[in-house]
Structure 1
């Protein structure tokens, strides 16, 4: 089968052996795969997959079940999307059956390919790790990103007013249309204006270093700061008196290297608490653009531009997607 590999800073298609489908697994004929910043890093040689995971790019995909191992609830022909540690950007992928979700009714496979990673990330970090309660206020840095787009919709659905920091007025308008109360544009001293909307109970932050000191100022007492990325650098100087005085919790969070049972529990919770909201039209996929497989490098270039609202996906089998 053909699979997309990161080779010396480029994404290249190569022939790979078909993986076996074992007990508790399903084989998916991949229609489309979502792009994530982790794929950019792996393509550049900076983020190797966890031990035992596929070297093929792709942390999420959608397609049709083509083979079912013993002990699985799925049937051949089911439309599914899946959370992966790697391997989604290939003609086929074999995945733990517990890490797949049904494609919501009315959602195309190309749209569903961009759902598992961002909704699992947003749900885990906002509602599981921080115990976010209705009415508590949220700040989302990089609010127009895939995770940000999912998080805004979840906040609206579960009664949490949220604000964002973004890179342009157009992206702020996009976030407000999804349900954000407002926000600021990053750069210069604009971020300081977030004080007008705070203090915040929870901050979801994929930036890190550059934003660290401000995050402490913006958090309310008993506030929770979840760091999920290092786009602004890995070093920061913190005023620990604020951490103590406000009883702030700083939570470092990753998803890709979690074990299979953790992901199974997360996906089960997501299926029960979040997935029904798609049928009610309270959540909607935010697919900005899809690219044919031959244009993978163009897709990665657009993702690297940091100008994407929502998600980009790569079409692996256009007859399905």
Structure 2
């Protein structure tokens, strides 16, 4: 089979050995794979896959099950999407059957390829780790991103007013169309977020130079979930403010979580979140599809930080 590999800062569609399908696993014929910032980092050699994970790019995909290992409830022909530690940008992928979800009602395979990573990330961090309660206020940095787009819709669905920081007026309008109350442009004055503070929860993929502001914006017993370092890894904090506000600062990653953790997370996602797609309360935010042969263009588009929602690579256009 062919698979997309990161090679010295570029991507190549290369032949690779077909993985075996073992007990408790399923093989998926991949229709499309979602593109995430982790793929950019891995292509650049900055984010190697966890031990034992595929070196092929791709943390999520959608397709049709073509083989079922012993002990699985799935059937050949089932239309599914999957959360992966790697391997999604390939003609086939073998995955723990517990990390597979049915395609939500009314969602295409291409759209579904853009769901598992961002909804698992948003659900884990806002509703499990931050234990968000109805009515609590949320700030989402990079609100127009894939995770931000999912988080805005979840906040709206579960009764949490949210605000965003974004890069342009057009992206702010996009976030507001999904349900955000408002926000600010990062190239203007982020201090204007104080007009909407205090926040109960901040979801932050930036880190670095946003740290002091996050601390100032949080209210008593606020939860600050850091999921990325786009703004650097060094910060100076007033620990007295952290202490007096009883702020919880939580560093969070998903890719290197163990298999049981991911299985539990996806089971919760299927029960609590997936029905909202059929109800029309959540919608995939797929901005653009790229053929896998145009993968470099897709990576460049994501790196531009101008994407509203998600991008996917179409692996097999005959599957739809």
TM-score after normalising by structure 1? 0.99
For residues 206 and 310 of structure 1, the distance between their equivalents in structure 2, rounded to whole angstroms, comes to 15
**Pairwise CA distance, 1:187:** 1.8
Indicate the SS of the match to 2:255.
coil
The alpha-carbon deviation at position 73 of structure 1 amounts to 1.1
Q: Secondary structure at the match of 2:192?
A: helix
Question: Over residues 110-129 of structure 1, what are the superposed CA-to-partner deviations in whole Å (9 max), with x where a residue is unaligned?
Answer: 00000000000000000000
Instruction: Give deviations 1:88-134, integer Å, cap 9, x for gaps.
Output: 00000000000000001211100000000000000000000011000
- Cross-structure match for 1:113: 113
CA distance in 2, matches of 1:306, 1:100: 29
Query: SS in structure 1 opposite 2:111?
Result: helix
Q: Which residue of 1 aligns with 2:218?
A: 219
3-state SS, counterpart of residue 262 of structure 1:
helix
| 1:310 alignment partner in structure 2 | 309
Question: 1:128-181, CA deviations, whole angstroms, 9 ceiling, x for partnerless residues?
Answer: 001100000000000000000000000000000000000000000000000000
Q: In the aligned structure 1, how far is the partner of 2:187 from the partner of 2:283?
A: 30
Secondary structure at 2:206 match in 1: coil
Matched, 1:4 2:4: yes
How far did 1:247 drift? 0.2
Q: Deviations over 1:15-64 (max 9, x none)?
A: 00110000000000000000000000000000000000000000000000
Partner of 1:86: 86
Secondary structure (helix, strand or coil) at the match of 1:104 reads: coil
CA–CA separation in structure 2 for the residues paired with 1:271 and 1:70: 22
Report the Cα distance in structure 2 between the residues aligned to 1:175 and 1:311, rounded to whole angstroms: 13
User: TM-score scaled by structure 2?
Assistant: 1.00
Provide the rounded CA distance (Å) in 1 between the counterparts of 2:152 and 2:49. Answer: 29
Q: Kindly state the Cα deviation for residue 65 of structure 1 after the two structures are TM-superposed.
A: 0.3
| Structure 1 residues 157-172: aligned runs within 5 Å | 157-172=157-172
Match of 1:26 in 2: 26
Distance 2:267 2:73 in 1: 13
> Aligned equivalents of 1:74 and 1:105: distance in 2?
17
Alpha-carbon separation, structure 2, partners of 1:258 and 1:59: 13
* Shift, 1:210, TM fit: 1.1
Determine helix, strand or coil for the equivalent of 1:30: strand
Query: Which residue does the alignment assign to 1:179?
Result: 179
Aligned to 1:286: 285
Structure 2 match to 1:255: 254
Please give the residue correspondences for 1:191-202 in structure 2 after superposition, counting only pairs within 5 Å. 191-202=190-201
Unmatched 5+ stretches in structure 2: none
Distance between the aligned counterparts of 2:317 and 2:195, measured in 1?
Answer: 47
Structure 1 partner of 2:152: 152
Is 1:134 the counterpart of 2:134? The answer is yes
Partner of 1:76: 76
Q: Distance in 2 between matches of 1:199 and 1:113?
A: 35
Aligned mates of 2:147, 2:318 — CA distance in 1? 28
Give the match's secondary structure for 2:221.
strand
Match for residue 54 of structure 1?
A: 54
Give SS of 2:222's match.
strand
**Cα distance between partner residues in 2 of 1:130 and 1:9:** 35
Deviating 4+ runs (over 2 angstroms): none
- Aligned residue pairs total 320
Deviations 1:195-236 (A, max 9, x none): 000100000000000100000000000000000000000000
Name the Cα RMSD after superposition.
0.5
